[in-house]
Amino acid sequence: MPHVKVAKKSTDTDMTPFVDVAFLILSFFIMATQFKPPEPVPVETPNSVSSDILKEENSMLITVDKDNKVFININEKKGGNTGKLNDVISDISQSRTLNLTPAEMTSFTKAPIIGVPFNQLRGFLDLPHDQQEKQPQPGIPVLDTLNNELVWWIASVKKAFAGQKLLYLVKGDNKSKYPTFEAIINALRKNEEFKYNLVTSQEGAPEGTDLYKERRGIK
Amino acid sequence: MASIDSGGGDSGHKKGPGVKKAKKLSTRVDMTPMVDLGFLLITFFIFTATMKSPTTMDLNMPKETDKKDETKIKQSGALTIMLSKDNNVYYYEGELAPDGSNFKRSNFKDIRKVIQDKKKEVIKNHVHDDKCEDIKLKAKNRVPPDPNWQTADLDRDFVVVIKPDAEATYKNTVDILDEMTINAVKRFAMVKISETEDGLIKKTEGGK
């Protein structure tokens, strides 16, 4: 009698490829995740209901830390021509008669964040790059209305980015006091800049409020 | 399950009858927990990678020099909010009474209710006139158009004046600006605090 053998198939599935893929994806994510570079100035931003995503390209970031110290850094378009930072520092050097050397200007373009008064700028830029990060910076003086150095910085940045879209980002710490923020606004105002963005962390709109209704499409 | 070929399968030469078969230990490892863990980590990384993107809040300040552009506000629709230290909030409606009797104390939780109530009150007392149509038209022609343009004129007299004092923190300022967005307050202004108000805050704080 012919006997047809039905092949007994195992119910076990070979999971090896599955594991392979899982770990491949895992290693991809681990490698692709760019851990935020340790911020030169730790800042805890306040929450807001605003949901616009921050764009850092072509922006001047004004940071206020918890001790009301003001720092700036300038972000260019990624891959764009990097001459802007040089323009800024040579303009500052000229307008404040700092007479910086080309080496010091190059140092500026690589500096992580600037938070020193003009009279200490040269000393700061003379430091090697890895020491600049560790060097505690006193912050840019802003509170003195007659000597608000941020005005000069903004003026130079504005000049360097003339004709291009430039965002002014203000990133303040929760604990920083209002007068510093006001001084920043005043510095921007003196440069005829009235639009700027505050960097915040996102939170949802509270229930029952007008914004909540609007976002949900309830009349 | 994952299996690794141990090489000594059933195929191949049979051993003699006297040879005892060594007990074969399975080389299979149950990989399910490992896969579980793997995917758990993947999910974790995906979430942490996208969750915390910072957002921005737009802020437009008026030009200080434009004196003629200065908007006259109706006292009936004005609400002045002052921010002070320790997250204290003070407010008064309309004009500050000379004796400071309408100067009230609040906090960030209750101020929302104050703003909402004031807004409702302003909308209730709204008197229709020629300007209303202009506002409606503006709202309608805005890009993107205001979905509620038909009621855009109702709260046109509602103005919130924000006055943070020297002790107020940046967080307070952002919180109150946020409160404007939350309650859909269209007109608000940040103004320097006056000495009278500063004095009243000091008095209230000292008198507790």
Looking at chain A, the whole-number percentage of residues with pLDDT higher than 90 is 0
pLDDT at residue number B90: 86
B167 vs A contacts (CB less than 8 Å): 177-178
What's the pLDDT tens digit per position in B119-147? 888 888 777 777 777 777 777 777 677 67
pLDDT at residue number A218: 59
How high is the mean pLDDT of chain A?
A: 79
Average pLDDT over every residue of A109-138: 80
Question: Distance of alpha carbon A175 from its chain centroid, rounded?
Answer: 19
Least confident interval from B11-15, B83-87, B88-92, B170-174: B11-15
The alpha carbons of chain A give a radius of gyration, in whole angstroms, of 26
User: What is the C-alpha to C-alpha distance for residues B68 and B149, in angstroms, rounded to an integer?
Assistant: 27
User: What is the C-alpha to C-alpha distance for residues B99 and B193, in angstroms, rounded to an integer?
Assistant: 18
ipTM: 0.71
Domain-embedded: residue B28: no
* Interchain CB distance below 8 Å, B184 and A48: no
pLDDT at residue number B11: 46
Domain-embedded: residue B163: yes
Query: What range defines the domain where residue B123 resides?
Result: 75-206
Domain-embedded: residue B106: yes
Domain-embedded: residue B47: no
Domain-embedded: residue B44: no
What's the pLDDT tens digit per position in B61-74? 766 555 544 556 67
Average pLDDT over every residue of A136-150: 80
Instruction: Give the residue extent of every domain in chain A.
Output: 47-202
Average pLDDT over every residue of A127-147: 78
B84 vs A contacts (CB less than 8 Å): none
Average pLDDT over every residue of A120-124: 83
Interface test with B, best of A11, A45, A48 (most B CBs within 10 A): A48
A7 — pLDDT class (breaks 50, 70, 90) = confident
B109 — pLDDT class (breaks 50, 70, 90) = confident
A38 — pLDDT class (breaks 50, 70, 90) = low
In chain B, the number of structural domains is 1
Q: Which helix (H) or strand (E) holds B161?
A: strand B159-164
Average pLDDT over every residue of B14-25: 68
Average pLDDT over every residue of A25-30: 84
* Interchain CB distance below 8 Å, B56 and A46: no
Centre a 10 Å sphere on the Cβ of residue A57 and count the other Cβ atoms it contains: 12
Interface test with A, best of B162, B169, B172 (most A CBs within 10 A): B169
How high is the mean pLDDT of chain B?
A: 75
Average pLDDT over every residue of B139-165: 76
Instruction: Please name the amino acid found at residue B102.
Output: N
Question: SS3 letters for chain A?
Answer: CCCCCCCCCCCCCCCHHHHHHHHHHHHHHHHHCCCCCCCCCCCCCCEECCCEECCCCCEEEEEECCCCCEEEEEECCCCCCCHHHHHHHHHHHHHCCCCCCHHHHHHHHHCCCECCCHHHHHHHHHCCHHHHHHCCCCCCCCCCCCCCHHHHHHHHHHHHCCCCCCEEEEEECCCCEHHHHHHHHHHHHHCCCCEEEEEEEECCCCCCCHHHHHHHCCC
A53 vs B contacts (CB less than 8 Å): 53-56
Instruction: Please name the amino acid found at residue B173.
Output: T
pLDDT at residue number B10: 47
For chain B, where are the alpha helices, taking DSSP H only? 32-51, 111-124, 130-141, 170-182, 195-206
**Residues A64/A173, Cβ–Cβ less than 8 Å:** yes
Q: Phi and psi at residue B130, in whole multiples of 5°?
A: -60, -35
Helix axes A149-160, A83-95, angle to 10 degrees: 140
Domain-embedded: residue B202: yes
Looking at chain A, the whole-number percentage of residues with pLDDT higher than 70 is 92
Domain-embedded: residue B3: no
Interface test with B, best of A64, A178, A180 (most B CBs within 10 A): A178
A189 in contact with B, Cβ within 8 Å: yes
Least confident interval from A190-194, A204-208, B163-167, B178-182: A204-208
B172 vs A contacts (CB less than 8 Å): 178
pLDDT at residue number A37: 61
pLDDT at residue number A82: 63
- Which of A194, A200, A211 minimises the CB distance to B60? A194
- Which of A15, A172, A177 minimises the CB distance to B35? A15
- Which of B42, B55, B182 minimises the CB distance to A25? B42
Residue of chain A nearest B147, judged by CA positions: A214
